Every structure is written in structure tokens, then in C-alpha cells.
Structure 1
Amino acid sequence: MKNFLLTAAVVFYAGLSMPVFAQKAETPKYVGNIEGVKEYKLSNGMNVLLIPDQSQSNMVVNIIYNVGSKDEGYGEKGMAHLLEHMLFKSTKNLGDIKKQLSDKGGVANGTTYYDRTNYYEIFPSNDENLKWSLQMEADRMINATILQTDLDKEFSVVRNEFEIGENNPTRVMIQNVFSNAYTWHNYGNSTIGSKEDIERVKAPTLRKFYEKYYQPDNATLVIAGKFDENNALKYVGDYFSAIPKPARELGGTYTVEPAQNGEKYFEIKRNNDQQIIAAGYHAAAFADKDYAALSALNEILTADPSGYLYKGLVDSGNASSVWAYYIPARDPGIIYYNFDISKEKNLDEAAKLVKAQLDKISTINYTEEDLNRAKSKLLKDIATEKNNTINYAIGFTEIVGTGSYKLAFVYRDNVENLKLEDIKRVAAKYFKNNNRTLGVFRPSSNEERVLPTEFRSEQIATLTKDYKGKALEKEPAPFETSIANIKKNLTEGTLSNGMKYGLINKELKGDKIQGSFRFRIGNEKDLQGKSAVASMTASLLKSGTKTRTKEQIQDQLDQMKSSLNFYTSGQNLMVQFSTYKNDFPKVMAIMQDILANSTFPENELTKTIAENNTYLDGQLKDPEAIAYNELSRLSSPYPKTSIFYTSTLEEEIADNKKVTRAQVVDFYNNVLGASNGAGTIIGSLDAKAVGSELEKTFGKFTAKSKFEEVKPTLFETKKVDKNIITPDKENAVALGTSSFTMKQDSPEYPALVLANEILGSGGFLSARLPMRLREKDGISYGVGSYLSVPVTNDVSSWNYYAYLNPTKRDAVESAVKDEVSKALKTGFTQEELDSNKKSYANIRTTSLGMENTLINLENSKLLFGVPLERYDELNAKIQNLKLEDVNAVLKKYISLDKVTSIYAGDFNKK
């Protein structure tokens, strides 16, 4: 890895050449502290936000640039997004960015949207990672190479990303609502860009865009998690303050979308069985108080089961689902409504019914109960985001893009202060036919047109200048993320019915509590042919009990800022929840009521079947869904009588239609139970109290059906390369699998894990397959491989995937086989071995800092007897591997003569 030192002097390039600037390092100036978000500023204009959280073992560095697709000019559509891709290539001082990200084993990404672009890295908390991240971000702020050779390869990668979206009917509809609704403003353009602009732009043109916007006065740096604040400020000063403030003035955008002159209508015709009706209304910018009122109104309209649109269209069976999409935007945005319509319904008749319901929005007599329910849901979401520090820091990306990070708190306050008259006012103001994109143009006189309020930068500055926020919350206690410390803070127990549980005493931000339970259920006889029944039963568990309606269950959870979800997978009923310390007993009481007293209303079953089948209708011609389904059927050809049988998508739809309420009730009463299960809770709770609550919740939850684990069968895969033609699809997919016998306790498992890391899954896009297909050849946006090696049986597989343009089908097949063949023939190198050992160890450390990892480790211990120490032992074994061990294991278990591959796409395209 190359090292560099950026202190008092930096080489700054603007055009072909610029002089060297010498500037003394500056300590960021303290601005203020709003609810734990500490703001600093450098004299070159860069904003710095610190969000310390000592309970974390990870840290995130997130840099946000105030540039997105909104800022693109003529011929530049997609340039902001393309530049985001290019900044993962290399810099003049650091060299290969992806390679170094891979070596450090962090989680990294970059994203672009209408108002902003961001780059973030999540690493285990230590001074070396913090220092490197800040060095790297400072270097690529001004020293990205942006080579034409790299750009030539990245064109097709970005194009492939565009094509993936073109296969998705929902994404196509969203984009067309926006593009039809906006006449002049750039929000009407897709962030991913125009294929023509992307493929024609040259490196010098892209560099001008980069040099204009990638400057300190246009950036906000966020550092969050566990880190030394003094060191962080020192490094920020060392690496960023030396970058001078540019002489140019950005000026900002000034286009204001005029009021719409009448209702707009469009129609998309694509080869797909999914029917969608969509509507968009011009609405308020995020800085506008109306944004909070409109967000609450969206909840009132679309919430399941209380929403007015939900009741009017889903309960009646005229739509299978309804949802809204309303982004926080710098300028006035769009509220998007999506209505999924079963293919068995007449689309024209459904459109009339949808419009009739939309026309009622401005006249509904909304109630205080509606308002309180919506506020509870919105405030729950805000609290959930705030109390996950890493996500919170990344989530600031969108808010910063709207004009100021303080707007997040202003919005929260606006939600808290909402009055019923606010809901009625925005419903009347914005929900007019002439402000809607859906239908046809109609001449009309005396129109009262809607002109959204524009917010200029000086207005936002005035709005947020003296904002102080609420009182600071208590910081959670530090928690050392190590197996030894986890064991030290772990309490285990067994309930009267045999269920096992674990409590990890780790204080989470906001006194949050989360947990996951896995109940092993049934046997081959009792589960045969009941996959659809099992799925429907889990989906319907929150649909009502003898003491609570579906609406009451959801309202109570929202009011407590809590969530509770059920689903089935094979012989498992999975239960996941999140809540807060004071509400833990109440959430457990709701869970107990659901498990003991569910009623499964007939109308809810009908709606759930319609929703599931509408989703499946959309998969019938989707290349990815078809490929995964066919690969599973080819590689694991179980008979229909087996619980492992993979139904065709058509069979799954038919099976769903056959499910009856009587079957669901029978499955609930006889098959579900907790006796053969386990669960783990993480949070600061009294162990004795937890045991008592779990006994009340699960102690009597027992199944009449005896649990007997059904073991899978190994089917030896064969060499197959099968094409499936999916007409009129812009994107294609390639999938492959090869079966073998192995368990996780096999002596050869560590070597196979590392071999797969090097081949297709390790590092940040630096394994052989992504390096070849994405970085070198530029023929796939997403490509990689993964292992499936279980704990309790030895039926295992190695798998690969690639997304591609249909015209690149042969090139992708050739490249995948060539890379696997090279690995088998000549083996890996010592450099690859050493690099992937390091990145694997680092990503394991990062993962151990995530609550879900801790829960899954303890659940595996309780259910399968996997000791927690195995987590460290696996890494230790991998670090001790020799090159010959890894190469030998790869040759033993992977063979191109046994890989079954499926290629799905429109391969007739030229």
C-alpha cells in the first residue's frame, strides 16, 4: 500500500497546471453542539460534524459534496454519478483506492442523488484507520487521476447499472412520473444519467466538473462512532485545512419549476405482467414546514391497515398494495404514490377507482387520531435512525444535500408540533388535479394553480442560524467488542418449555433493545406441501388478536417507536423485534398476545395473497428471478413431495391462491411453537427481569407437532450452460453453482473460505472476478462469488453471479470461466494470500462491531452448540494458512466440469 503525507503543502490542480500552495495547518473552529452533533468549520469553507458514540466499536467517515444530478448542464446528464464511480479508481498520491479499501477490510460505498454525492468508509475504531480515511478523502478531493483509460472501462459498468433499473417496472414508473412532472427543473432527470451523455463524455470534460464541485467549500465531513475527538480534529486540520478555498463562486442553481398547467398523463408499455398505477404531486422542499405535514399526511393515507387510500383500495381488493415515496429535497420535490394492481384486475377500471380515491384527499375530514398515529410513526423512524450512530451519520447525507444538517432537527420539531389544521391545509393546497401527473390533459378555466415556495440559501441560513436543538442525550457506555468481553456480558437461560435464550448486556444508544428468535418447527410429514401456508401464517400473525385489532397492534408499536416482524424459512419461524428499555415489557406483551390469540381475519388473508401474487406476477419475466428459480430447480431436483422442492413461479402463485384460513389456523395451532428454539436479546436490561418476561411470552408457546430436522440431499451438479430468453429486457444475469460435501467444522473449511475470498468475494471489488469483469473488462456492474456451507449438515455449494448487458453474454461467460480456470491451473499468488488474510481479519473485526453479528453468534451457540470462540478460531486458522493449502483446497472442491450455469436475458439483442 502506498503511503503519503499531506500536511502544510498540497499540489492543487485546476486545469493543466497550477502552482503549489503552501498553507499552515489549521485547527477546525468549534461552532456548536446540537443534540450530540458537534459542528466545526475550516477557513477554506469545509464543514465538519463529529458524532461520538463510545458504545460503538466501529467508526464511519462520510464526506458529502453538494453536487448531484440537479447541478448537471446540457450534455452532462449522469456526470455526477459517473464521477462518483471514477473516484474509486486512483489518486496521484495514493494510487489504487479500491485495493487499499480492500486491504483494510472496511465497508465502503459512494452514492449520488439529486442534490448530493457522498463517500463513506466504516472501519473498526482505531487511530490508524481514522488517519488513513481522512488522508484518503483529502487526497481524492483534489488529486483524483480521472484517466481516459479508466473512463473507457467504466462506461459499460455504469450503463449496466442503468439497464438493471430498466428491468424493474417500479423504478421505470418512478422515473417517468418525475420526468413527466418536471418541465424545466433537473429533478426530472434520472440521477444515473443519459446513456448517450455517459458514453460520450471525455475525461477532460469530467475533470472540469470535478474541479468545480469537489472543493472544501462545497463539502461536509462527518466522523461518527468510536474515535478520539482530539486526534480527529488534528487530522482534519492536517489534511484538509491545507487545501485552499477556490476563487470560483458556485452560485448554485436557480431554476424554479413553474406551476403545472393541468393534469398530466403518461403510459408505459413494456413486456411484463406487473400492473402499476402511479401518481405524483408537486410538493414542498425539505426546509418548508409543509414537508412535515405532507409526510404525516402520507402516513395517514397509506399506512397498513389504517390509511384512507389503503382502506379504499387494498381493503376493497381493487389494489394489492399502496405506498408513498417523498424524498427530502433541496428544492420543491414530488410526492409519489404507487398502486400495485393484480393482473386479474382491469387496469382501466382500476385507474378510475384510484383517481376517485386521490380526488377525495383534499376533502377528507381528518381526525386527531389520524394525526397522532402518523406522528408516532414518523417520530419512531426518526428515533430509530438517530440511535444507530453509523446509519445516522450516513443518513445525514440526504439532509446536508437539502441545505443544512440542522434541517433534520427542524423537521423533527415540525413533526412534533403538527396540528390537525396543518394536515387539512396541505391536503387542500397540494392535492389538486392540476398538480398531478397521472391522467390526460383537460381544458379547464379558473384554475387555482399550485406554486411551491422556493427556499434560497440565505433563507435556510436564517432559518437555522440560531437553532440550538434539544438537551443532549446520555452517552451509552463504552463496550469492547471482543469474544472475551461478549462472554463476560452474556447471560444465558432456559425456559420451562425448553426454549433457550441469551442476553448480551450492551448499552445501546437511546437505551435501544433489539432481539431475534428462531424457532425450529415441524417435521417432514407435517410440513409437506405447506410452504405457502407457512408463509401466509407468518405474514398474518400481526393481522389481529382476540384483544387487539391489526390497527391497534401497529399503532401501539409505532407509539413505542418499536417494530415486530415474523417470517418463516424452511423449518424455522423467525421473530425479530426492536424497542426501547422502558417499553420492553409492553412489546413482549404484544408478542405474547399474537402467539397465543391470533385470529387471522379472512379479509386479511385475501389481501395478503393478492399482495404476494402481484409481486410474483412482476417476477414472471424478470431475468434475475427466473434465473435463480431455474438454477435451484436444476441443481437441487427434489420431488414435489419434499419440503425442499423449489416451485416454479407459476406454481407458487397457484399455491398461494389455494391457501385457506382453516389451513392457516391449523398450522398456527399445531405446528408453531418455541420449545425447540432460541433467541438473543442485546441491550441494557436486568437479566432476571428478561428471564421473567420471556417465560411469560414464550413459556406456554408449544407445538403439538413434534420437531424432527429434515436433512437435505446432496445432488451432484453437472456442467450445464443454459440460456433463458427474456424478451425486451435491458439487463441480463448469469448465475452458477457447484455442489460438494462439507461442514463448517471441516479442517478444510478455512482454506476454502480464503480461496473464495481471493476468487470472488474478498475485499472492496478487488477479488479476481470483480477485478476482471468490472475493473479490467468493464462488462459487469455487479459480479462475485460466495460459499454456502452449513453447520448442521454437509450439503454445500460454491456459487457465482454477474449482472450484464445481454450483448455481453458470451464475454461474461468466457471471463468467468477464464478466471476460475487460471486459479485452478496456476493457483493464487503469495501477495493475494497475504492481502486477503489482512482484509478478511479486518472485515471480521468490523462485523463483530455490529449488533446483528453478536445476536447471530449467540443464536448459533444456543441452537447448534457452536462456541463463540469459533469466530476468532476461524480467523486464526485462516491467518496460519499456507499458499499450497489454499490452492489445493480450491482444486479439490471447485471444478468447471461440475458448474451448472444459467444465463437469463434478451440474448437476441444486437
Structure 2
Amino acid sequence: MLKPTLLVLALAASFAAQAAPTRVREVEGITEYRLPNGLQILLAPDESKPTTTVNVTYRVGSRQENYGETGMAHLLEHLLFKGSTHFPDPKADFTRRGFSWNGSTWFDRTNYFAAFSAGDENLKSYLAWQADAMVNSFIARKDLDTEMTVVRNEMEMGENDPENVASQRALGAMYLWHNYGKDTIGARSDVEHVSIPRLQAFYRRYYQPDNATLIVSGKFEPARALAWIEQSFGRIPKPTRTLEKTYTQDPVQDGENLVTVRRVGGNPLSVAAYHVPAGPTPDYAAVELLNGILTNQPDGRLYRRLVIEDKLAAEVSPFSLALAEPGFAMFVAKLAPGAAQERLNAALLSTVEGLGREPVTDEELARARTRWLNRWEKQFTNPEQVGIALSESISQGDWRLYFLLRDRIKAMALADVQRVATQYLRPGNRTLAQYIPTDKPERAPAPAFADLQAELATFKPQAAAAAVARFEATPANIDKATLRSELPGGMQLALLPKATRGGAVQGVFTIRLGTAESLQGQAATAELAGAMLKMGTRTLSRSQLRDALDAAKVQLAVQATATGLSLTWSTTREHAAEALALIGRMLREPRFEAAGLEEVRAAALAQLQEQREDPMALAPNEVDVALDMVPRGHPRYKPTFAEREQDLKAVTLDGVQGFQQRFYGSSQSWLALVGDFDAEAIKAAAGRALASWAAPVAPVRVADVTVDKPGRLQLLPTPEKQNAMMFGVLPLALSDDTPDAAALTVANQIFGGGAGSRLWARLREKDGLSYGAGTGLSLNPQDPRSGWYVYAIFAPAVRAKVEAGLREEAARLLAGGVTPKEVADARGALLSEARLGLAQDAQLAAALARQAMLGRTMARTQKELDAIAAVTPEQVNAALRKYLKLDGYQLVFAGDFR
């Protein structure tokens, strides 16, 4: 007979042997394992960035909800963050550790994910929470009662969005029986009347290891991660219940559907929706390509006809999903100002359904394929994105579908794209929003489930990407690796060459424009000039420029204001110099034409119309206007919506051309690149493209003016808007050089800077009034004009409670002060967030460009972090007493408060 101690050891050894993960397969750098309890594990190690991403995907979404259970999967997503046996307050712990975390619910899955600075304790802690949350979450009535209003507030946000509402109604008309016709957030009545026992039963049924996939990507040691996964998840027993597959299918649609939604506010829009095959089928790849063929800018058929030629739409966009079962494809068109909805509908339908009359061309297919594959490659080279993107393939039945779809896109023949367009994009399979009888109804192919085994039988994984050398993203190491120089003419460079996955390169180029006097009344002209930069050059048409950017794998964003122009892009090592050359041509030789001006003007006016009726845009704009200290026309003036409309309509083609000719130049400009590139080659390319280029009007920085206005509270009416917004700013007459900067930063974190903050805990966790509430601190790096802002979104009926909660928490903070634990947690969260930000190459490039403009280096960043690390509770309390004055806020509540 074994002694008791030996018996315990023997049982432990036996348990460990049973729980050991089994290696299943390796595909393109991702290795799959299984625990005996059924948990699927995917490990995607990548040493190129000092961050780790963990994502747990449960194969349950709104598709699995029964009658009366709509919204249940989404409710569980919220309640899992309310705590479990060993993690009673996970959100506070995530904030303390500086995690970037969230969860999401969709038709076929629910997932929970976090990105954080790589480290054993962070990884072990998050794995332990995920394991505990899987089977030990409270799912308690008290938590449901407070979270209920938060979920309702999230519903109300969606109800304020015309595109969201129109898409919901289209889906409801498309599906007679299948749950894809029901919005994931659920019916209000179901959500409000859900029973805790039923919700707990749903949780116990689906939140089990055999229904989940755990993904770990980024920087970690696989052997240790497997051991911790085994330790956390291996003890969970394999469930004895069996999950039944869903089997509901809608019949083939037997005629056109028309849905009309009438509401106050918002821009008119139309949605043309069609049933399409399930994501795992070969034909779904054709749907993805048809999205691009129809809506890509500037060559997509819908975009070209509706936006450019007929000027019926301000913008068009696709919305299709690779779902586990037969799904849908939507094409959204927002009406241009002054256009007629009937003409828009006719043009939208004739263009989409006209692919049978005007077949897809080889050129159209090649463009769509290139752009789709460029986006896929960019996503796959980012360990934080790919770890979460795999959720969608997992929800379809197998994670390898992520790669199979890519291969199908590459191999898709023109004939198959044309066949799918002809079969599915037809009137009898359409939902727009009208009933039209027809003697000869046309039917789409009958939907069918995918045979995963057959679909994957011929799949051959590509070779895994080569390992990337580790880079320590510390301020000191960044400074050491950054090459700073100045080119003839004044342009300053900050180049940080380092190995990246896929040879990725991130770039930022910023130009200072004009003077306070020369830029009077030029804000709208500057904005539209920047928006037109993608419309071609003197020698490249708009299509040719877009093709050249696609060929160079450039994804480019332009931000233009009256005082500056900033271009942000990504590319790859082999195209880095070519990307700079193209950007130089766009800036120095833009093609400004009347049609292009009208296109960007229409888009700006359409966006403006949406903002005028949206509480979440109205409140911040009103605060900006209230804090203005300069006269109308000044380059830093904040216009009202009416003034902005007037200014946009007054912009002329001559004005745009003249603005570029007078103000664009590189004498005061800053270029920063981060990623895999040859620094000398980039320096030479920058010299050829942008150096020695002086604007006729030499730029002089336009200073911010210190605010000197009393605080005020305003209520803005937004009739029939179900969501309301609180936004306020406390002006601070100081810059980021103030000795109080670190203490103020920590004070903001404690007051409203995260999930563990005082304001969040009061308005969301305790009172359940808001889906999102918090504060933010903006310290101006050059002028004594900073601000401490506060915000919350909520149902209009609880406005008084939201204001009372804000005032009471501010008073409590000032009266009782902060605790040493709050200060320690805030310091830790801020430092972790800073480390995570330095590891994001796009953010790092922007930071280097900004530092170059300010004459700073990462040594300044390290000094700021050191100051935060040394902040004491006494310093925080002194800063709060000195600066936090609610009566000094410009505070605006926008909503329907009748």
C-alpha cells in the first residue's frame, strides 16, 4: 500500500499526464495543440515585437440563441468581465497591468482578447483569468441588473446610426428563419427579461474547453506557454454534454424585398443586400473579390458611377461576412447632397446586377485581387492582428480557412467570379427596401453546408515566415537605433531601421504650412486640398496612381489642417523607396481637377450632415466652439457646423491649386520611418523626392492661444436620438513642461483613465448608466493651452444621474484624496501602456516625427516615464486640489431630454 504522500504524488503525476497537450499540426508558423478536455490551442510565436496577444474564441454567437434568448451571447460577453471565483474584478487588474483588452460577440462566435507587454507574469495572469472565467464566472443577478442599462445604452448607440439600422432591417427581411436575420445585440425585450438560470445554463453549455480555441501570438516562449496553459486549463474536466449542430436553413429567396425606415436625422442611404454562399465554400472567395470590383476607390464600378460620374452618392462601401453557414453581401450607398433617392436606388441596383450584362474584366479582377492580398499580408505580418483575425476562421469551423481563403483569392478564375456574380447578384435574390411582382421569378442556387474535409483536402500550407530578430522597444534603445539627420533645404529625418515580420515599414511625413496672416480663411481649402492628393499627379491619372500605390503595397492616409499636412503610410522593404517617390509626386505635382473637388466636397458635406445630428459629434464640437479665443478665419478657429458648411461650399478649384502652390514645401518638414529598410537608400530617396523644396510663403508656426473663459453648462437638443453624450473640457493654462505634468497624468488615470478609475466604477460599474465614461488629459507640447476632458454616453432619461455621478465623484476625490494603492496601480498602468505603445511601429513612427518637430528625442520620453514612476500620493492630491475644478469646465450634454 502506498503511503499518503506517495499517493498524492502519484495522482498528481497521473493528472499531469492526462492533461498534457498533444501536437496536432503546424501551418505557416502556427502550431495547433489539443488538451484531453478538448481545448484547441494555437501558438504563433513572433519575437519581432515585445508584445503578446492572447485570444480565446468560443464557437457560440447569436446563431446559437433560441427563441427568447436573442442577445444572450452578447450579455455573457459583458458579464464575464464582472468577475469569477479567483478574479473578482478582472478589469481593474487588466488596467493595473496596462493591458489593451476587450471582447466581442458576432453571429458565429464570441471572443475575449488582450495585448500586453511580453512577460511571464502578464501571460500567466491572463491565461489564469481566461481559464477561471471559462467555468467559474459569477453570472450573478446583481451584475446583470447594473450591466443591463449599459447594454441598453449600447443598443441605443446602434439605433442612432442610420447605416446600422438600415442593415439590421435588411437582414431581418432577408432571413425568414435563420438567426443571421437577428441583430447580435438582441431584441430589447429578450435582453430586458432574460432570466439568470437560463443565462447560466447557456453559459455552462457553451463556455467549455471543447468549444473553445486559445490563441497566443507575439513574443513568448512556446514551451513555457504550453505549461501554463496546461496548468490553467488542463484541470477543467472534459464536458459530458454534446453540442448539437445548427440545421436551420432559409429557402431560396423568391422575389425582391423592399424595406423602408423612416426616422428623424441622418443622411439618406440605400443598402442592396444579397444571399451568398457560406465562408468555407470556394464561391465565397469570389464574393470578396466582387466587393472590391464594385466599391474600391477610384475604380470600383459603384464608386465610379455613383460617386464620380453621376454624383448620386457621397460614398459607397461593401459589407459581407465569411460566415459558417450561407450568409450575405451588402452594398451601401450614402446619398450625395441634392441627389434624388430614387435615382440612387436605380443606379445602385443596375450597377450591381448589371455584372451579367457587362462582365467583369481581367483588369478589374487583378486590381481587386492585389488590394485584397495586400490587406491580408499586412494583417498576417502583425502578430496582434492575426491572433484576433483567426477568430473568424475558427467560427466557420477550422482555423486553416484563414489561409485557404487567401489561396482561393490567388487562384480565382475570371469565369468563376462572373458565374458567382450572375448567380447571386440578381433581382430575385435582392433585398433593398419594395415589392414588385414578376411572372418569372429568378432563383439563386440553393444554400448548402460546407464539407470542411473536402474543402481542405487539397489545401497545401505555404512555408512559415522566417523568424525576426528581437528589438527591445525601450526609449534608450530606440534613441540608439534612430538615425537623425537634416537634408538640404531643412527637411529633418528620423529613421529607425529594424527587422520586422514581412519586411513591414511604417512612415510619417509632416509639413508645416504658412503663417497666421497668410492662412486667414484657408481651413476648408486646406482640408479639401489634402483630400484631393490621392486623385492623381500631373503624369499619373487617379487610377494609375492608385495602381502604383497598390503595386508598392502602400496604404496611405492624409490628414490636412490649415496649419499642417501629415501623411501616414505603410509599405514593405522592397517598396520603401518607391513609396517615398510616389508620395513626393503626389505632394509636388498633384492633379487638381474640378470633378475631384466636387467629389471630396460632397463627401465632406455628407459627413458634416451626419455630425450635425449626432450627439457624439455635436457635444465635442460645441465645446470647441465655446473655447475659441481667435476670430473667424484664423487658422486655429473652430467653426460651427453652419460656418463649416458655408466654408466648404465656398472653396474653388483655383483656391485649392493656389493653396498647394503657395504653402506646400519641405523647408519645415519631418520624415520618420520605422521598420525593415536600408537607411542610406531611404535618405537618398527622400532627398530626390522631397528635399530642397521651398514654399513661396515661408512657414511660421501658428501658436495656440491660451483660453480665458468661464465654465458653462449647456444642453443641446437632438430630437428622437436614443443615445446622449456628455463632453466637457477644463482649460489648463500650461504646457507639458509644467512640473505638475506627471502628477496630473496619474491624477487623470485615477479619476477617469481606465476601467479601474473612479468615474468608470461609478457610472458604469456601480450605477450602470453608461457604456463608456472617462476622462483624458491633453498636455500641449509648445503653448500654454492644455485641457482636461471628461465624457460619457448614456440614455437621455438618466442625464441628471450622470451629472450627479460626475460631480459626486469629483467632490469625493478632492475631499478624500487618492490612496497609495491607487497611485501605485495608476503608475503601473501608465508605464505598461507606454511600453505597449513604443512597441507599435506605426505609433513609434508618429512619435519620432513629432519629436523631430519639437526638437526632442526619446530621452525626453524616458524622463517623463521616470517622473510618472516617482509620483507620490501627496503630489497627486496637490495637483487635484490645484487644477480639478468642475465649475471651470465647458460641459455640454447633447440628447433628446424632453
TM range (shorter): over 0.9
Write the letter of the residue equivalent to 1:697. Answer: A
Please name the residue that 1:877 is paired with.
867
CA distance in 2, matches of 1:343, 1:425: 36
CA distance in 1, matches of 2:633, 2:295: 40
Please name the residue that 2:684 is paired with.
692
Moved more, 331-340 or 681-690: 681-690
468, 474, 480: which one aligns with 1:488:
480
State yes or no: 1:839 paired with 2:797.
Answer: no
Q: Which runs of 5+ in 1 are unaligned?
A: 1-7, 10-20
Q: Deviations over 1:157-178 (max 9, x none)?
A: 0000110111111111111111
Matches within 5 A, 1:11-50: 26-50=19-43
220, 225, 230: which one aligns with 1:227:
220
Matches within 5 A, 1:453-472: 453-456=447-450, 459-464=451-456, 467-472=459-464
State yes or no: 1:406 paired with 2:400.
Answer: yes
State yes or no: 1:80 paired with 2:73.
Answer: yes
Aligned residues of 2:355 and 2:418 also touching (Cα < 8 A): no
Please name the residue that 2:108 is paired with.
115
Q: Deviations over 1:63-117 (max 9, x none)?
A: 0000001111111110100100000011112221112112211111000011100
Please name the residue that 1:673 is paired with.
665
Please name the residue that 1:555 is paired with.
547
CA distance in 1, matches of 2:266, 2:498: 48
Please name the residue that 2:627 is paired with.
635
Please name the residue that 1:850 is paired with.
840
TM normalised by structure 2 equals 0.97
Matches within 5 A, 1:285-684: 285-315=278-308, 316-456=310-450, 459-464=451-456, 467-684=459-676
789, 813, 821: which one aligns with 2:811:
821
Q: Deviations over 1:429-469 (max 9, x none)?
A: 0011010001522222333311443225xx21443367441
Write the letter of the residue equivalent to 1:699. Answer: A
Aligned residues of 2:337 and 2:605 also touching (Cα < 8 A): no
Q: RMSD between aligned alpha carbons?
A: 1.6
Moved over 4 A (4+): 21-25
Aligned residues of 2:538 and 2:589 also touching (Cα < 8 A): yes
Please name the residue that 1:868 is paired with.
858
Q: Deviations over 1:341-375 (max 9, x none)?
A: 12422222332333333331222122111111111
Give 1:277 deviation, angstroms: 1.2
Give 1:561 deviation, angstroms: 2.5
Give 1:553 deviation, angstroms: 1.2
Check 1:466–1:261 CA distance in 2 against 1; reply closer, same or farther (3 A cut).
closer
Aligned residues of 1:63 and 1:137 also touching (Cα < 8 A): yes
Give 1:826 deviation, angstroms: 1.8
CA distance in 1, matches of 2:99, 2:21: 26
Give 1:716 deviation, angstroms: 2.7
State yes or no: 1:244 paired with 2:244.
Answer: no
Please name the residue that 1:214 is paired with.
207
Local SS of the residue matching 2:488: coil
| Number of residue pairs the alignment of both structures matches | 886
Write the letter of the residue equivalent to 1:404. Answer: D
CA distance in 2, matches of 1:504, 1:25: 48
Give 1:127 deviation, angstroms: 1.1
Aligned residues of 2:53 and 2:387 also touching (Cα < 8 A): yes
Q: Which runs of 5+ in 2 are unaligned?
A: 1-7
Local SS of the residue matching 1:532: helix
Please name the residue that 1:766 is paired with.
756
Aligned residues of 2:629 and 2:706 also touching (Cα < 8 A): no
CA distance in 2, matches of 1:462, 1:47: 21
CA distance in 2, matches of 1:522, 1:803: 38
Aligned residues of 1:51 and 1:223 also touching (Cα < 8 A): yes
Local SS of the residue matching 2:695: coil
Please name the residue that 1:200 is paired with.
193
CA distance in 2, matches of 1:785, 1:569: 26
Please name the residue that 1:784 is paired with.
774
Write the letter of the residue equivalent to 2:475. Answer: I
Local SS of the residue matching 1:782: strand
State yes or no: 1:103 paired with 2:111.
Answer: no
CA distance in 2, matches of 1:897, 1:350: 49
Write the letter of the residue equivalent to 1:667. Answer: F
CA distance in 2, matches of 1:657, 1:788: 32
Aligned residues of 1:380 and 1:560 also touching (Cα < 8 A): no
Give 1:24 deviation, angstroms: 5.2
CA distance in 2, matches of 1:712, 1:657: 27
CA distance in 2, matches of 1:171, 1:546: 40
Write the letter of the residue equivalent to 2:887. Answer: D
Moved more, 79-88 or 641-650: 641-650
Of all paired residues, the percent bearing the same amino acid is: 34
CA distance in 2, matches of 1:223, 1:570: 44
CA distance in 2, matches of 1:321, 1:400: 32
Check 1:366–1:451 CA distance in 2 against 1; reply closer, same or farther (3 A cut).
closer
CA distance in 2, matches of 1:431, 1:463: 24
Check 1:98–1:52 CA distance in 2 against 1; reply closer, same or farther (3 A cut).
same
Give 1:421 deviation, angstroms: 0.5
CA distance in 2, matches of 1:188, 1:229: 41
TM normalised by structure 1 equals 0.95
Local SS of the residue matching 1:527: coil
Local SS of the residue matching 2:568: strand
CA distance in 1, matches of 2:433, 2:85: 53
Local SS of the residue matching 1:95: coil
Aligned residues of 1:720 and 1:901 also touching (Cα < 8 A): yes
CA distance in 2, matches of 1:858, 1:312: 41
Give 1:25 deviation, angstroms: 5.5
Moved more, 857-866 or 534-543: 857-866
CA distance in 1, matches of 2:584, 2:630: 37
CA distance in 2, matches of 1:236, 1:754: 34
Q: Deviations over 1:525-547 (max 9, x none)?
A: 22111111001111101101121
Check 1:780–1:248 CA distance in 2 against 1; reply closer, same or farther (3 A cut).
same
Local SS of the residue matching 1:858: helix
Write the letter of the residue equivalent to 1:266. Answer: V
Aligned residues of 1:39 and 1:48 also touching (Cα < 8 A): yes
Write the letter of the residue equivalent to 1:89. Answer: K
Local SS of the residue matching 1:729: coil
CA distance in 1, matches of 2:867, 2:613: 45
CA distance in 1, matches of 2:806, 2:356: 56
Aligned residues of 1:384 and 1:561 also touching (Cα < 8 A): no
Give 1:570 deviation, angstroms: 4.3
Aligned residues of 2:56 and 2:111 also touching (Cα < 8 A): yes
Q: Deviations over 1:13-36 (max 9, x none)?
A: xxxxxxxx9775522111121111
Write the letter of the residue equivalent to 2:749. Answer: E
Please name the residue that 1:796 is paired with.
786
Aligned residues of 1:544 and 1:550 also touching (Cα < 8 A): yes
Aligned residues of 1:40 and 1:47 also touching (Cα < 8 A): yes
33, 54, 70: which one aligns with 2:47:
54
